[in-house]
Amino acid sequence: MAKESTQVEILDAAAALIAERGYTATSVDDIALRAGVAKGSVYYNFGSKADILEAILQRGVGRLSELMSSAREGREGLDALEHMAAAAIEVIRDRTDFAKILAAEVFRVGRQWEESIGAVREAAISQFAEVIAPMRPDLDAHLAGGAVFGSVLVAGLEWMVFESDRPFEDVLAVVKALLGGLVKA
Amino acid sequence: MAKESTQVEILDAAAALIAERGYTATSVDDIALRAGVAKGSVYYNFGSKADILEAILQRGVGRLSELMSSAREGREGLDALEHMAAAAIEVIRDRTDFAKILAAEVFRVGRQWEESIGAVREAAISQFAEVIAPMRPDLDAHLAGGAVFGSVLVAGLEWMVFESDRPFEDVLAVVKALLGGLVKA
């Protein structure tokens, strides 16, 4: 039987390599080597390289959805947005490779894992959009959700990749400042 | 002598393919076929596939820098940020393939074209950061520049890829709303 720990090791190794080099430049051999398992074990646990990427995306989106939904629960308006943004920044901090892959893949269409990427967009952009819609009927809520998600994703990755000595609060403060603009004077 | 029009055709073809499939999955043969030129002509005009990506990034960053600088000229504070954001959205509209490649590559380090990607980050994020710094000394200006650039990039690509029937003004309105949050009450 496939051990869950082996699967997690394979997914973590694959996410690190794909985040660094891109999907096509990463081979199953590379993934096996990095995970410290036999190539056969990779194929035993996941049918193909595309299936591994699917699993990385699904694991990431699961975590993102879960944290954003629970951050939103019982809140509305700016308060909900601030807590959802904080949850999303936590996911970027804890799953930086997933976030990098997301940034790389979210606007590519026609790839095999398009559906999983669509689920991430739905989880992130649409959740923000739903909260923004009643606050700002004058704006296109979906584009606004995209803008908020973009500010979280890029500020979060900028932090993790180039300024990781900064505290979490500095990133959150920046996103909160922008979110404040959605409250009509 | 290399014709400029041939070079532009090669760059446009390569940008479209790389934006769609990624760098490694795009071959020089694919680029030649899409551009309608001989493979030898691709190598004659550009030494390698990596040089083509460098040229795509440099051409994009040149345009982005130019438009953002001239939008900023003679302005400051929120007024400057709004005009710079509008200029960046125009670049995303007119050079969507470049913008997709940028989103995919901006947080990958150690690649051959890291310097060109650094120039884009400098052109976009740092220009926003310079304007934000005196407005909001309480924030990390660089992270704030990243957040603003992220909101522009993701809202702009969301628009071009999934909601291109919307007018330019809808995207700008969303980004302006967020920028308004940087003005202290």
Residue pLDDT, tens place only, A60-71: 999 999 999 999
Average pLDDT over residues B110-139: 88
DSSP output for B63-102: HHHHHHHHHHTT--HHHHHHHHHHHHHHHHHHTHHHHHHH
Residue with the larger pLDDT of the pair B67 and B112: B67
Residue B6, pLDDT score: 93
Beta strand extents in A48-163 (DSSP E only): none
Q: Does A139 touch chain B (CB under 8 A)?
A: yes
CB < 8 Å to B23, chain A: 22, 24-25
DSSP A111: -
Residue A2, pLDDT score: 61
CB < 8 Å to B159, chain A: 143, 146
Per-residue pLDDT band at B2 (split at 50, 70, 90): low
Residue A3, pLDDT score: 72
* Closest by Cα among B179, B183, B180 to B85: B179
Q: Is the pLDDT of residue B48 over 80?
A: yes
Q: Is the pLDDT of residue B50 over 80?
A: yes
Classify residue B58 as exposed, middle or buried by CB count within 10 Å of its CB (0-12, 13-18, 19+): middle
* Closest by Cα among B34, B37, B43, B44 to B13: B34
Average pLDDT over residues B74-89: 97
Average pLDDT over residues B104-132: 84
DSSP B167: -
Question: How much is the ipTM here?
Answer: 0.91
Residues of chain A with pLDDT under 70: 1-2, 185
CA R_g for chain A: 18
The angle subtended at Cα B44 by Cα B43 and Cα B50, nearest 5°, is 40
Q: Does B78 touch chain A (CB under 8 A)?
A: no
Interface mutation target, options B49, B96, B151, B153, chain A, most CBs of A under 10 Å: B151
* Closest by Cα among B164, B143, B153 to A140: B164
Between CA A39 and CA A29 the distance in angstroms is: 6
In degrees to the nearest 10, what's the CA dihedral of A84, A85, A86, A88? 90
DSSP A103: H
Q: Is the pLDDT of residue B3 over 80?
A: no
Between CA B172 and CA B149 the distance in angstroms is: 13
> Closest Cα of chain A to B1: distance in Å?
34
Amino acid (one-letter) located at A179:
L
Per-residue pLDDT band at B185 (split at 50, 70, 90): low
Are B102 and B18 in contact by the 8 Å Cβ rule? The answer is no
Domains annotated on chain B, with CATH = 1-47 (1.10.10.60), 57-180 (1.10.357.10)
Percent with pLDDT over 90 in chain B:
78
